[in-house]
Structure 1
Amino acid sequence: MAKKVLSIEIGQQVTKAVVIDFLKKNPHVYNAFSFDTPEGVMEDGYVKDKDRMAQLLREQMKDNGVKEKEVVFSIASSKIASREVTVPYVPEKNLDNLINATAQDYFPVNMDEYTLAYNVLETVKEKDKKSLKLLLLAAPDSLIQNYYSLADLMGVRVESIDYYGNGSMQVLQKHIGSGYSVCVQIGSLNTMVSVLKENQQIMQRTIPYGTNTIIETMLAHPALECRDETDAMEMLCRENVVYSTLDYEDETVRGTRISEDQWKRSGQSREARKAVTDAVGGILLSVIRVVDYFGSRYPDCQLGYIYITGMGVKIRGLDTLFEREMDLPVRKLEKLTNITFSRGFARSLQDQTEYIAAIGAAIEPVGFSLKELKNKQGRAASMRTVKIILAGSVVVAVALVAVGWFRLVGANKENENLKMEKQSLQSINQVYTENEQATKKFEDAAALHVATSTKNQNLVALIEQLQKKLPKQMQVSTLQTTEDKVTLTITTKTKISVAKMLVEFEGIDLLTNVNVASIAGAESENDKIDEYTFSVTADYTQLPTKEEKDVSLDEADTTTTDTTQTAQ
């Protein structure tokens, strides 16, 4: 029978816990409970009031019949640094030593004050070489000690400590189909964006926006009549207050609280709906940037689906907005598979998906632990290693004496052969000199070609790219180019379209360092801003012509040939 643990995620607003099988790929959840985290108890992953939180957890464990004494904590904190790194392949028993020796290269901090943990994402095979792709994490010692102290006050023992992003990935990777997919986990305070390929995580980024940003926007608009945060969240789930595009182009959807005539007459309500869409758009545009970055790093990888989960999955219309703006099919993750729940546990959509981090922490945690515990385990392992080495060294010493004489004879023979080969290769010096002279002439010709080029050769290509990338509601008044700069004067109806334009301009190869200094609004007769005018400046780059690309390839071939001849 699998070992059971109590897996706990102490969030800024809500604390969630599950009784679950430990280190099992398809675990069983025996019990689950959640409660509001008291204000001021948590601060960026640290439990500030450990006595109060320990008392609350003990009371909740008693009320829910939880008797487990081994716990796993899932921590979400900006203090935990994460890196996706690739290291040479080594046996698992040697991986800790390799990571400890190279950690300073990945984290520019004093590693004496940090605890390391990792998770093997995949084994990469390239030709005859193997390497390991790792999710490498560094957490402050004080943060890890904070949770061990909390466990002592609770009267339980820490089995393991996990990172929030890793726990989520352990669950989500079981629900993703074949090929490359994006999983967007929208929480209350932040959004986790993961790029997955079947059972492997390729990339993960955290966006500092969540449903709280959307709710705050709703509460700021009296036209929506939201009494509190709970009322605002219920309205988001019940009524479609989110437009289906960032250009607000879909038909206005009437809510159930006011009549159709009232809704049509209420310009304030429409403005509120636009503001809510902009709040969701802030999350969406950040997701688009992550996807664009993935595309730049992996240009040959085609994304298949976008999966949405977390609290944001309940927002009505959010999936349609993501699908239309990202031009990818969207699926809602509404039920957890490969995980079974006891009959007494409420299996609603919210219950299952909101416990993802706590469930995943028990499946395969990264394993943060106190350095004192690691050192104790390391000393015990070292003693066993010393005994093995002493026994083997006697055998090795005898073998080395016997083998050494045979190696000496072979080395002398090889030395004679190398001297003869060196003598036969003396004629290569003349070939090398001729190649150097030809290369110099070629470089002079290439420099002359570059000096006669102008960036305005690509002006037509630039205009074509602008026509494709500009949102359709924008109009370009002027376009000015110099040898190094491009300046455009543009008018538009909405500010959010400016943000969308900046995202689209990242795909224009001819422009870099795109900047919008300011935006001026033109008011209509009813004192509302109907039109915005702004200037865009960017550095003008020049794409290499076909001939220049051929030149670059020839230079690479020449360099390779020279290096080979010199080595010989």
Structure 2
Amino acid sequence: MFNSKVLSIDIGSKDTKIVLGTQSKKNVIIEKTITMTTPVGCYHDGNIIDITKFKNEISDVLQKENIRSKSIIITTKSTTVITRDIDIPVAKKEDMNSIIKFQMERYLPIMFDDYIMQYKILEEFEEDGIKQAKVTVVVYPKIMAEGYYNLVKELKGNAVALDISSNSINKLFIENIKVNDENYSLEDTVGVIDLGYDFINVNIISDGNVQFTRIINYGGSNIDIDIAKQLSISEEEAEDQKLEQCNLESEASSDRQSSTVNDIAKAQVRNWTEEIERMINYYKNKDQGNKVDKIYIYGGSSNIKGIETFIKEILNLPVTKIQSLSNVNCSKLNTSKVDSSIIDAELSMYLNAIGAIIRLR
């Protein structure tokens, strides 16, 4: 698996991002990045609705780009994927699954036979003389996983892994890396937030692990819908207006349409940020000593002009859009005559797919 090319596919409600790359030790070497529109009626909240149509669209793109890699990883996000942190007594490895399942069944009113459960031990500690473990548990709908497996089979590929966005981004935030040429420390607790089209994924990373993750049902589509209604234009035109005319740092424009677009974007991003603030406060109140030192943003809606400053002023925390990571090597993209400034601008669009390429030994 290591040092061999893989195709990583990050499926989103609006766009599907495809990355051809290789894991080399702790780095990821990127050879190609592609964005294709997720076919209408093929995907909803993590579920593939029309496998045949989706497969045909992906196959056409891969053929056009002359990509033949058969090792495929899929990463996605969904409101139906449940992630929880629990404390349990330390036990033998073969007993851990049963203990975790028993604990999770107490909290979640679901039929566990319909789900796949995986866990990761974050830390071990002692309480009242008993050895305990803090464990993060992911509960994933089987029918959703089967949909992805069948998609890979339809693509005549080999399914290497199925990942979730919070885990994918977590694997990029490791010791001794630089984010935008600045040192990142595992001692810092950072919010890494994916500003997507339909969803915002809030991840809080501390000591190299995601300690908290939640999905917010807001995204760039809410801005597009409001602009389209207000200006009586299509949502596609509204998205163009958003990217061209929005600047969240600017005051009211003399141009009435630009001012309307900006006001709509500001209102929506303020809603997002207040929800993000609520999540951060919930995390801080969970345990004494919990804190958040800095916010990193990525994803399509992080491209809205002035969004870093706008969020920073509300949260009163440093906010930075991820433009480069020292453990992501884009030199092979540069050799194909791609402007390096374009790579920096678009890297944040592909971070979930890039992180999914990393397979931990």
| TM tier relative to shorter chain | 0.7 to 0.9
How far the C-alpha of 1:186 sits from its partner, in A, is 0.7
How far the C-alpha of 1:40 sits from its partner, in A, is 0.7
Task: Go from structure 1 to structure 2 and tell me whether the alpha carbon gap of 1:15 and 1:219 turns closer, same or farther (over 3 Å shift).
Answer: same
- TM-score normalised by structure 2 residue count: 0.84
Q: Which runs of 5+ in 1 are unaligned?
A: 245-250, 255-261, 366-568
Question: What SS class does the counterpart of residue 332 from structure 2 fall into?
Answer: coil
In structure 2, distance between residues paired with 1:96 and 1:45 = 25
Greater shift in the superposed pair: 337-346 or 32-41: 337-346
Tell me if the contact between 1:311 and 1:354 (Cα under 8 Å) persists in the aligned partners: yes
**Match runs of 1:432-443 below 5 Å:** none
**Match runs of 1:231-270 below 5 Å:** 231-236=240-245, 239-240=246-247, 242=248, 252-254=251-253, 262-263=254-255, 266=256, 270=259
2:268 to 252, 269, 279: 279
In structure 2, distance between residues paired with 1:152 and 1:357 = 22
- In structure 1, the partner of 2:125 is 125
Tell me if the contact between 2:85 and 2:134 (Cα under 8 Å) persists in the aligned partners: yes
Question: What SS class does the counterpart of residue 68 from structure 1 fall into?
Answer: coil
- In structure 2, the partner of 1:349 is 344
1:107-137 CA distance string (max 9 Å, x none): 32111121112233x2233476543333212
Which structure's relative contact order is higher, taking Cα pairs within 8 Å and 6+ residues apart? Answer: 2
Task: Go from structure 1 to structure 2 and tell me whether the alpha carbon gap of 1:206 and 1:23 turns closer, same or farther (over 3 Å shift).
Answer: farther
- In structure 1, the partner of 2:68 is 67
1:30-52 CA distance string (max 9 Å, x none): 32222111111112212211112
- In structure 1, the partner of 2:54 is 53
- In structure 1, the partner of 2:193 is 184
- In structure 2, the partner of 1:418 is none
Tell me if the contact between 1:219 and 1:229 (Cα under 8 Å) persists in the aligned partners: yes
Task: Go from structure 1 to structure 2 and tell me whether the alpha carbon gap of 1:253 and 1:198 turns closer, same or farther (over 3 Å shift).
Answer: farther
2:231 to 187, 204, 222: 222
- Tell whether 2:322 aligns with 1:333: yes
- Tell whether 2:316 aligns with 1:316: no
Task: Go from structure 1 to structure 2 and tell me whether the alpha carbon gap of 1:226 and 1:16 turns closer, same or farther (over 3 Å shift).
Answer: closer
Task: Go from structure 1 to structure 2 and tell me whether the alpha carbon gap of 1:310 and 1:164 turns closer, same or farther (over 3 Å shift).
Answer: same
In structure 2, distance between residues paired with 1:290 and 1:162 = 23
- In structure 2, the partner of 1:387 is none
How far the C-alpha of 1:64 sits from its partner, in A, is 2.1
- Tell whether 2:296 aligns with 1:296: no
Tell me if the contact between 1:24 and 1:363 (Cα under 8 Å) persists in the aligned partners: no
Kindly, what percent of the aligned residue pairs are identical? 21
Give me the CA root mean square deviation. 2.9
Task: Go from structure 1 to structure 2 and tell me whether the alpha carbon gap of 1:326 and 1:361 turns closer, same or farther (over 3 Å shift).
Answer: same
**Rg larger in structure:** 1
- Tell whether 2:157 aligns with 1:162: no
1:250-284 CA distance string (max 9 Å, x none): x7354xxxxxxx54xx5x76555333311111101
Task: Go from structure 1 to structure 2 and tell me whether the alpha carbon gap of 1:100 and 1:300 turns closer, same or farther (over 3 Å shift).
Answer: closer
In structure 1, distance between residues paired with 2:156 and 2:316 = 52
Tell me if the contact between 1:311 and 1:350 (Cα under 8 Å) persists in the aligned partners: no
- In structure 1, the partner of 2:353 is 358
1:408-443 CA distance string (max 9 Å, x none): xxxxxxxxxxxxxxxxxxxxxxxxxxxxxxxxxxxx
How far the C-alpha of 1:94 sits from its partner, in A, is 5.0
- In structure 1, the partner of 2:108 is 107
Tell me if the contact between 2:8 and 2:72 (Cα under 8 Å) persists in the aligned partners: yes
1:368-418 CA distance string (max 9 Å, x none): xxxxxxxxxxxxxxxxxxxxxxxxxxxxxxxxxxxxxxxxxxxxxxxxxxx
Task: Go from structure 1 to structure 2 and tell me whether the alpha carbon gap of 1:119 and 1:26 turns closer, same or farther (over 3 Å shift).
Answer: farther
- In structure 1, the partner of 2:18 is 17
Richer in strand (by share): 2
Task: Go from structure 1 to structure 2 and tell me whether the alpha carbon gap of 1:225 and 1:5 turns closer, same or farther (over 3 Å shift).
Answer: closer
- In structure 2, the partner of 1:419 is none
- In structure 2, the partner of 1:199 is 208
- In structure 1, the partner of 2:217 is 208
How far the C-alpha of 1:101 sits from its partner, in A, is 5.0
In structure 1, distance between residues paired with 2:111 and 2:293 = 41
Richer in helix (by share): 1
Q: Which runs of 5+ in 2 are unaligned?
A: none
In structure 1, distance between residues paired with 2:57 and 2:313 = 44
Question: What SS class does the counterpart of residue 198 from structure 2 fall into?
Answer: coil
Letter in 2 for 1:290: M
- TM-score normalised by structure 1 residue count: 0.55
Task: Go from structure 1 to structure 2 and tell me whether the alpha carbon gap of 1:301 and 1:45 turns closer, same or farther (over 3 Å shift).
Answer: closer
Tell me if the contact between 2:55 and 2:155 (Cα under 8 Å) persists in the aligned partners: yes
In structure 1, distance between residues paired with 2:261 and 2:62 = 43
Letter in 2 for 1:123: E
Task: Go from structure 1 to structure 2 and tell me whether the alpha carbon gap of 1:222 and 1:43 turns closer, same or farther (over 3 Å shift).
Answer: closer
Letter in 1 for 2:87: T
Q: Count the aligned residue pairs.
A: 345
Tell me if the contact between 1:215 and 1:229 (Cα under 8 Å) persists in the aligned partners: yes
Question: What SS class does the counterpart of residue 31 from structure 1 fall into?
Answer: strand
**Match runs of 1:142-153 below 5 Å:** 142-153=143-154
Tell me if the contact between 2:73 and 2:162 (Cα under 8 Å) persists in the aligned partners: yes
